[in-house]
Amino acid sequence: MKTSDRKLEHIRICLEEEVESSYTGFEDIMLVHNALPEVNFEEIDTHVKIFGKKLSAPFLIASMTGGHPETKEINRNLAIAVEELGLGMGVGSQRAALEDARLSDSFTVVRDVAPNAFIYANIGVAQAKNVELIEKAVEMIDADAIAIHLNFLQEVIQPEGDVDAKGCIEAIEEVCNSVKVPVIVKETGAGISRSVALKLKEVGVKAVDVGGKGGTSWSGVEAYRTEDIVAKNVGIDFWDWGIPTAFSVVECKDILPTIATGGIRSGLDIAKALAIGAFAASAALPFLRPATQSAEDVKLELEYFLHGLKVAMFLTGCSRLEDLRSVEICVFGRFKEWLEIKGFNAREFCWRR
């Protein structure tokens, strides 16, 4: 199947089927209520700079789509909304447009309608072995950064997947040494561990997007696609494979600036992610259906997330984003057990992160 057709099939499955995995880790984190917040809600400031670009809040629409003519309107609606709200977004993998320039307008539309937004380009690590392709992806949308995505769980389940994972860290290092924009490395649903984050820092990566478990399961999406019964059953077995998003944030936060993606479904989730160390959060699936309808529907969904973040800040006595780093939290269940296995003192973590 052509890359462009596969992109459209992914969209259809995500719209029509149940594709989310279970448990992000945020379920076991509680922000402690402050009954005397001593904060004026109207004065709460959520502005942040990401790679020198000012955003109204530390929230992005994660890489989603592009690469097929029918995805152009989706990207247009996403971009109009982030431009109007002063936010940012990533585009889906640009591989299809790099293979066929006629598809490039499904990506260039983003910068056309969002000249001021933070926009990052996106290419798979297999394509990152060709630095020239990376430079073309950045130029295509006048990107502020480039994300190299890691999706080997998806690739190994996908019938036409690329399962040669050799040479990836060397390729990433070459990209970091060659391109003029910051390099983000992002997972796509299985999380990034501390050991991987350390390797990425060593080669010059500027940030990680943990893309943890708890959001869209690309193993599940590919299980829907394949007609091979063995591959389908293996895809189902690995539906919930990966490091939960909250776990991955804690693993990476003191190594590289960390974006929390994977099951972020509310402003409260954003606040929890920031409280445990992320510098920003992002989500994709919640914006897909609105983007098939209108930019206004995307904007409305974004406003839900942003308002929820401010409410969480208000109820914990935070007037600035930095205040979330020191709010009291409580941890329970699997997240607490994981902290202890990893050598953290759970009590101290709740007070001094």
Q: What is the pLDDT of residues 174-204, one digit of tens each?
A: 999 999 999 999 999 999 999 999 999 999 9
CATH ID of 3-351, from 3.30.930.10, 3.20.20.70, 3.30.450.20, 3.40.50.920? 3.20.20.70
3-state secondary structure of 280: strand
3-state helix, strand, coil in the chain (%, to 5): 50, 15, 35
- Angle of helix 72-85 relative to helix 295-315, nearest 10 degrees, comes to 40
* Closest by Cα among 91, 182, 170 to 137: 91
Residue 353 banded pLDDT, cuts 50, 70, 90:
confident
- H or E segment at 103? none
Give whole-number Cα distances, 233 to 10, 189, 224, 239, in Å.
18, 19, 10, 10
Tell whether the model's pLDDT for residue 6 goes beyond 90: no
Contact residues for 10 (Cβ-Cβ < 8 A; gap 6+): 65, 221
pLDDT tens digit sequence for 134-180: 999 999 999 999 999 999 999 999 988 999 999 999 999 999 999 99
Q: What is the rounded distance in angstroms from the CA atom of residue 72 to the CA atom of residue 109?
A: 7
When pLDDT is averaged across residues 198-227 and rounded to a whole number, the result is 97
Q: What is the rounded distance in angstroms from the CA atom of residue 11 to the CA atom of residue 76?
A: 15
Give whole-number Cα distances, 176 to 196, 219, 285, in Å.
16, 29, 29
Give the Cβ contact number of residue 66 at 10 Å.
Answer: 31
Long-range CB pairs of 7-12, under 8 A, 24+ apart, other chains included: 7/65, 7/66, 7/67, 7/68, 7/71, 7/92, 7/93, 7/96, 8/68, 8/70, 8/71, 9/225, 10/65, 10/221, 11/65, 11/70, 11/71, 11/74, 11/288
**Would you state the pLDDT for residue 3?**
74
Question: Model's pTM, two decimal places?
Answer: 0.97
Residue 1 banded pLDDT, cuts 50, 70, 90:
low
